[in-house]
Amino acid sequence: MTRPAYFLALISTLLSCAVSWEPGDSKPNVVFILADDLGYADVPWVDNDGIIIADRLKALGEGGITFDQFYASPTCSPSRAAAMTGYYPIHNGFNGGALGALQKAGLESQYATIAEKLDDFGYTSHMLGKWHLGWCKEDYFPHKRGFESFLGIMHSGTTYSTYETETTVAAYDLWKDFEIYKDYNGTYASEMYSLEAESIISNHDQSDPLFLYLAAQHIHTPLEADDYLDLFRGVNRDPPIGAGVDNYRKQGLAMIYALDLIVDSVYTSLEDAGMLDNTIIVFASDNGGLATAGGASNWPLRGQKNTYWEGGIRVPAMVYSPLFDSSITGQSNDCLFHISDWFSTILGFAGNTADLGVDGVDQWEAISSMGASCPRTSVLHNIVDDDDGTYTAALRNGTWKFMWGSPGDNNDWYATDGSVTEATDNPDTTDEWLFDLSTDPNETSNVAADYPDVVTEMKAMIEAEAPGIVSFTLTGRCDSSEVSADGVWLSGCCA
């Protein structure tokens, strides 16, 4: 054999022997970054207007796998509970929506969190950011749910430097483990979470794999990113964007930029610690964006946060890792995903092969096959028993989407220039909505009357699931006098 032929044969042999990473080959570090109220079009891989500045997210999307049919719940607590436990909201008590500020409820201990499960595989877990899965007793805190440390907020709508809730109770809401923590009072959230993530990563004992759950506050209201707002004023952009984008959207763009700073810091910290090559970064939003006054964009999808329209539940998501073979990266995946799937998929990354008995599906097959094989064929978005023999529910089955009852308010299409394309159908005159999302992804034409057999089948699927609805163990509300003192939140009102 000639030398050139020999070397060609050797190279061919080496390539044929190269084996791509598969779950079980190693225990990778996993970083799960969950954004808050980030809309379908609020990421660089969608970006209808071409004006988002999020360089790290852009790079991760281009080097990873983005998901085009990824679904969460219409509001935050149900999505967070699903991600943490692998259960649909109807199966863990969170089908009623986001926890109220004074609500006596939380994620009960019978639902093992992903951190608790990962402990069985030798992982050390930490959490930063927004919990919103119960605060009224310590048993609900992240520090008792498998996370070795926690720094973040317990509620929603908290400010970004003074960490005060602005809803039912105006009080300071930044916690470290079980205690109020004031060392970061006055420090902007992006800087705080970046510093804490860097500390966790740089101090991690690499003999054990790391799980970091970073649930960023961005881009939830209040819109506070003034330091970055100048980036999105027309005079500083080429081409200028000023006249074509409303002020809420400019503030939203600044919030997205601030979110990307956190993502970039995490990436850089992993790289500096020599951990990146054995790390999987997962990214998603907890629900659709608030398009009417929250600076988000779900365009061209219909509706927004707090609705069952696609704009309320179809959200951006992606996964990135140097472990993945280049043959499966750099593309969009069209398989059906639900946020509960991250529970099973991340545990699969860690080496789990057992049946977890949850609603979430291990999506490695969908990821590794480049979408050629999709394990999930349906998503039960939610069921609420209206206690009068009817339900408010939403179900995806194949390409069909059925909504029963009210889809929620804000039923229109919202553009980033502030204009609204008003819907011609009327939620007050029908409680049955059917769309074929393969031909009508923006839900422009309700075809329920044209396909009564499909409607009957979808109703039967919902009715079959309804007896499995789980209620919270606790009920009622804490008194406002019990939950704060000296301007800070207290726990213990439902202990």
Out of 76, 335, 478, 493, the active site residue is 76
Q: Which residues contact 310 (CB under 8 A, 6 or more apart)?
A: 40, 288, 298, 301, 302, 303, 401, 437, 441, 442, 443
Confidence of residue 7 (pLDDT cuts 50, 70, 90): very low
Rounded average pLDDT over 290-317: 97
User: Can you give the pLDDT at residue 50?
Assistant: 86
pLDDT value at position 437? Answer: 98
pLDDT band, very low/low/confident/very high, at 238 (cuts 50, 70, 90): low
Q: For residues 77 and 428, what is the distance between their CA atoms, to the nearest angstrom?
A: 27
Report how far residue 417's alpha carbon sits from residue 228's, in angstroms, rounded to the nearest whole number: 20
- Report whether pLDDT(6) > 50: no
3-class DSSP assignment, residue 261: helix
Residues of the chain within CATH 3.40.720.10 domain(s) are 23-377
155 catalytically annotated: no
Marked catalytic residue, from 91, 126, 132, 204: 132
For the segment 242-264, the average pLDDT, to the nearest whole number, is: 89
- Average pLDDT on 410-431 reads 90
Tell me, what's the pLDDT at 204?
98
In a 3-state reduction of DSSP, which class is residue 77? helix
Lowest mean pLDDT among 15-24, 173-182, 184-193, 394-403: 15-24
Token readout for 74 is 């219409």
Lowest mean pLDDT segment, chosen from 185-189, 239-243, 319-323, 450-454: 239-243
SS3 55: helix
> Is residue 15's pLDDT more than 60?
no
Quick check: 469 pLDDT over 90? yes
Confidence class for position 233, pLDDT limits 50, 70, 90: confident
**Total Cβ atoms within 10 A of residue 331:** 13
Cα torsion for 4, 5, 10, 15, to the nearest 10°? 100
Per-residue pLDDT of 73-124, as tens digits, reads 999 999 999 999 999 999 999 999 999 999 999 999 999 999 999 999 999 9
**For residue 489, what are the CA distances in angstroms to 106, 473, 480?**
16, 23, 10
Catalytic residue check, 218: no
State residue 161's pLDDT score.
Answer: 98
Given pLDDT bands bounded at 50, 70 and 90, which one contains residue 11? very low
Query: Comparing C-alpha atoms, which of 251, 197, 196, 199 is closest to residue 228?
Result: 251
Helix axes 247-272, 189-202, angle to 10 degrees: 10
pLDDT in tens, 147-162: 999 999 999 999 999 9
Nearest to 342 by CA among 110, 67, 127, 131: 67
Residue type, 284: A
What is the pTM (predicted TM-score) of this model?
0.94
Q: How confident is the model at residue 417 (pLDDT cuts 50, 70, 90)?
A: confident
Rounded-to-10 torsion of CA 89, 72, 147, 212: 170
The chain-wide mean pLDDT, for the chain, equals 93
Per-residue pLDDT, 427: 80
Q: Which CATH number fits domain 23-377: 3.40.720.10, 3.90.1150.110, 3.30.365.10, 3.30.460.10?
A: 3.40.720.10
- CATH 3.30.1120.10 in the chain is located at 381-468
* Confidence tier at 436 by pLDDT (50, 70, 90): very high
User: pLDDT tens across 335-392, in order?
Assistant: 999 999 999 999 999 999 999 999 999 999 999 999 999 999 999 999 999 988 889 9
> Which has the minimum average pLDDT: 189-203, 245-259, 306-320, 446-460?
245-259
User: Over 70: is that where the pLDDT of 234 sits?
Assistant: no
Give 46-81 pLDDT, tens digit per residue.
988 888 999 999 999 999 999 999 999 999 999 999
- Per CATH, the number for 381-468 is 3.30.1120.10
Residue 18 has pLDDT above 80, yes or no: no
Q: Is the pLDDT of residue 8 over 60?
A: no
Per-residue confidence band for 3, with pLDDT thresholds at 50, 70 and 90: very low
Q: What is the per-residue pLDDT for 16? A: 35
Looking at residue 243, its pLDDT comes to 53
Nearest 5°: phi and psi at 347? -65, -35
